[in-house]
Structure 1
């Protein structure tokens, strides 16, 4: 995973990109679709494969944070980012064909390819992204490939192997001055490496041989960061530059915490981004990406819990933070409580973030312990903020509201041995074998000791060699690749580890942390993991997983010190 020169990785798992860029290089061209060739894949307006990069002879491919290298028997091709929208590519003894990924051109779709008479550059105009991709020859010789006619054909640029060559490849909108740069390729690559190294030093200053995945985790976050564009109002860490190329309104909290110690401004941007799209009711969107904001679901209110973790490092403006968090909390209290009920409800599993957890099998619209626990923590933060702003009466109101909700959680959903879920319509209660039922452990020291102990014992039942399975492994509903019906996930692991530690179950928290860190060091930073084998599942370059590793590893190293 890590070499002397830094982390190395497979492009089938982690795309090659650069902090701030909206495009990446990867053979992954759609969800679970792997092409033979490396593609330039843009994430403006969605995930779109734009160009195929096809060497003229058989090669092996090496990926490092600052450079891609194709190695052939007689030569090599090297690629590095000069800026967020420009890469430099050079070859010696090995040619390259840059071809439109979509071979079909119609009057209304497909890639239009032409040579610009103004500067001789080659330009692909792509309908899917509404952007242009320009190839400027800096050294050597280039030839057009294919035709501009409508229909199916190869379209692109050939850089022959018979002499050294170098190009600049840019993504832009409508017009741009001819490419010009005095910077050598070597300096471009050196600068890119320096930027990554500075990021890693900031977010993982504690890294050592004991944390062998720290640099790769940093790369996953750094390379998945995009500059503000479209609906993305701030520098943002996407969940991935594969197909999960959005910011969901709870995922962002884990990345914010991972960044906070060394890059507090970037951490604050992560925390605040969904709040930039808070609606009139106070609800946060389900997700935000370049050209889409979805409000069909929400996500759980873990933001008070996250703020508690961010406070020591981030100087979030208290008045504005209070206003935004109050509106988000009011949404749950005003719009998600049935008349006469103290406890709020989810309308669907997606609202909880645990889309298909078995807790939701009996009914979809439910009151659950995790939601109440998160809101208790959030109202505690509101009480703290209000008091700090010189509003003690508001602070007391929020503190009293938190007490009432905690009491309702314990009296209405705790049956003496476990937390139940309750149908918001039917009023009936049930238990499940989902780890979701145990998430009230996030209340930590706020829970009575017998409740803490019972939850800790049940969490141990979920613990596999790699961490806490989201469905009890002995359950008939358990599935190895069942999304929230078995696999290990980063957010549930971090929340449970933190809650157990504050509940006084330090040894169990330590064990969960150690197992999850070992899992990432073995299997990378997948969206989730097979709880029995540790195999990475789904999207294999997921930033909240990398962020969780940095959180747990950093906390562990600081405790050692």
Structure 2
């Protein structure tokens, strides 16, 4: 399997480092095109640390690049530089193609390299202030030569050049507790170990039909390489949404990744599900996103955690301790919505911003929030149903009855207030006026399946299976007929993995299995065509935005396994 490093970064499970091929601009910064060494730590003001530059006597060379999950090859003038991971903290460079490790210093104060020695072993320490990171370079074979102009506090230009007929150079992440581990590197063994690690991980994921193996391979790599080890605020191994620039965990994205891990990796699945609950406030609220250094509380994400937990429990056995923990945290999360997000006291919760729904700029939020939507009520109904079941399993029978009563009451309010003549509505403001829109978000209540009255259920099914949202590639998030449809409009048109899975899961519960199979096939073909993009042009299938997104990978794997 070949990787396009302009779309999918070269990284490994657990690592906060990555290699990416970048053009002349990245996140608003003008740069030179090339292969970049990056950090994905959340504290970095810039993730760009150094450019890898093949050269001949100090002159840059044009070169070919060939990337696979286990190794990157740079080739020029009949020579090559091979790059592979020794482990999550160490990147190896091996070969005979001379190259420079060009540390970025422009607009990066306090960045420099300096010789370092521990015992009889020599290193170069690189301090990347804007990246809030430090690295040790060691030459096990060949030599390194430092070219740097020192300017009192910072380097003005900093390059480390490989020297010798053949080299083996290690770049190791270095925090204050760094100590030389005394390792002797075997490059070929490192490549083989990486290959075996990915193959083992891929085997642990849900199996998919043979015709979608190509998509499953890239999905496995995206999920595997997207994982980071416990560090800083993160106390569990966690799957970032991407190691391009979406380098965090969001409070609904993690649910889909937990599902992909739940078939054969119960510990990893549990950690991925619970990671956001590690940051739950006393009030019960979950943050919008977290990484190793930052927690964002300005927003939240929709309460799909009851839906997720129910599916997890079909795939993996939870201990009583885990069930108790899940019950307590899920109950607090649910009560936060009921207590803190019902501004007009009508018994229906509101979103205070599109970001809270996960559908940031959906046309359902075209007017100033708060906005009351039926998807939120449906998620809470389902979540309270799950809480009722959990309470029964724990012997909390009074609690079980109360959750069931609340679920039924919310369902009744949703049907009376957020549906008219069988059609779902968005209502904005405290006066609850109707917001006209053609967003797919209104049809998410289908997730309740046969919990819905037959007439409403049939109406949702009819519209979802019509041409209102359906395209050659799947379900658009805004009807292509809408005047507000945008081909690259984020939640105003493109196809997304989570909306696809939530809708199809509900339709499957309604018995619409053939339609679900066909839409799943379309989504799988979409991933095979355009990779694990954050979202996709609904009319062309082109991948959009971040092109190595883990929830896209996870949804493809789960749906291909469950629905085909």
Counterpart-to-counterpart distance in 2, 1:172 and 1:152: 19
| Residue 448 of structure 1: aligned partner | 453
2:97 pairs with 1:82: no
Counterpart-to-counterpart distance in 2, 1:144 and 1:465: 55
2:67 pairs with 1:67: no
Q: CA deviation at 1:175?
A: 5.0
Q: Aligned to 1:296, what secondary structure does the other structure show?
A: coil
Counterpart-to-counterpart distance in 2, 1:345 and 1:112: 51
Match of 1:395 among 397, 400, 422: 400
| Residue 488 of structure 2: aligned partner | 481
Query: Residues 195 and 424 from structure 1, CA distance in 2 versus in 1: closer, same or farther, beyond 3 angstroms?
Result: same
2:106 pairs with 1:103: yes
Note the 1:474-513 alignment, pairs <5 A.
474-513=481-520
| Residue 115 of structure 1: aligned partner | 115
The superposition leaves residues 477-526 of structure 1 with CA deviations (integer Å, 9 ceiling, x where unpaired) of: 00011111111111000100100110122222122111111111101111
The superposition leaves residues 156-211 of structure 1 with CA deviations (integer Å, 9 ceiling, x where unpaired) of: 21013x50111111011125333532441111110111111100011144463443
- With the length of structure 1 as denominator, give the TM-score of the two structures: 0.94
Counterpart-to-counterpart distance in 1, 2:476 and 2:375: 17
Mapped contact 2:344–2:430 kept (Cα < 8 A) = no
Counterpart-to-counterpart distance in 2, 1:218 and 1:32: 30
| Residue 54 of structure 1: aligned partner | 53
2:40 pairs with 1:36: no
Q: CA deviation at 1:401?
A: 0.8
- Structure 1 segments (4+ residues) deviating >6 Å: none
| Residue 432 of structure 1: aligned partner | 437
2:17 pairs with 1:12: no
| Residue 194 of structure 2: aligned partner | 192
The superposition leaves residues 131-156 of structure 1 with CA deviations (integer Å, 9 ceiling, x where unpaired) of: 32111011112211222335673212
Q: Aligned to 2:420, what secondary structure does the other structure show?
A: coil
The superposition leaves residues 82-105 of structure 1 with CA deviations (integer Å, 9 ceiling, x where unpaired) of: 11101111112x101001123356
Mapped contact 1:211–1:553 kept (Cα < 8 A) = no
| Residue 314 of structure 1: aligned partner | 316
Report the aligned-residue RMSD: 1.7
Counterpart-to-counterpart distance in 2, 1:440 and 1:363: 23
2:420 pairs with 1:421: no
Counterpart-to-counterpart distance in 2, 1:382 and 1:475: 38
Give the gaps of 5 or more residues in structure 2. 56-60
Mapped contact 2:207–2:557 kept (Cα < 8 A) = no
Match of 1:140 among 139, 142, 160: 142
Mapped contact 2:532–2:550 kept (Cα < 8 A) = yes
Moved more, 17-26 or 359-368: 359-368
Q: CA deviation at 1:553?
A: 1.3
Mapped contact 1:27–1:35 kept (Cα < 8 A) = no
Q: CA deviation at 1:273?
A: 0.6
Q: Aligned to 1:307, what secondary structure does the other structure show?
A: helix
Note the 1:17-416 alignment, pairs <5 A.
17-28=11-22, 30-31=26-27, 35-44=32-41, 45-46=43-44, 48-56=47-55, 57-92=61-96, 94-104=97-107, 109-118=109-118, 119-150=121-152, 153-160=156-163, 163-174=165-176, 176-178=178-180, 180-206=182-208, 208-316=210-318, 317-416=322-421
2:546 pairs with 1:546: no
Q: CA deviation at 1:285?
A: 0.1
Q: CA deviation at 1:232?
A: 1.6
Counterpart-to-counterpart distance in 2, 1:235 and 1:167: 28
2:561 pairs with 1:535: no
Mapped contact 2:212–2:525 kept (Cα < 8 A) = no
Mapped contact 2:227–2:237 kept (Cα < 8 A) = yes
| Residue 58 of structure 2: aligned partner | none
Q: CA deviation at 1:123?
A: 1.4
The superposition leaves residues 251-293 of structure 1 with CA deviations (integer Å, 9 ceiling, x where unpaired) of: 1001011111021111111110110001121010000012110
Q: Aligned to 2:85, what secondary structure does the other structure show?
A: strand
Q: Aligned to 1:120, what secondary structure does the other structure show?
A: strand
Counterpart-to-counterpart distance in 2, 1:87 and 1:340: 56
Counterpart-to-counterpart distance in 1, 2:559 and 2:14: 26
Counterpart-to-counterpart distance in 2, 1:10 and 1:190: 21
Give the gaps of 5 or more residues in structure 1. 1-6
Query: Residues 141 and 182 from structure 1, CA distance in 2 versus in 1: closer, same or farther, beyond 3 angstroms?
Result: closer
Moved more, 403-412 or 9-18: 403-412
| Residue 4 of structure 1: aligned partner | none
Match of 2:528 among 498, 509, 521: 521
- With the length of structure 2 as denominator, give the TM-score of the two structures: 0.94
Q: Aligned to 2:33, what secondary structure does the other structure show?
A: strand
Mapped contact 2:35–2:53 kept (Cα < 8 A) = yes
The superposition leaves residues 312-342 of structure 1 with CA deviations (integer Å, 9 ceiling, x where unpaired) of: 2233411110000000000011111135412
The superposition leaves residues 369-405 of structure 1 with CA deviations (integer Å, 9 ceiling, x where unpaired) of: 0000000010011000000000111101111111111
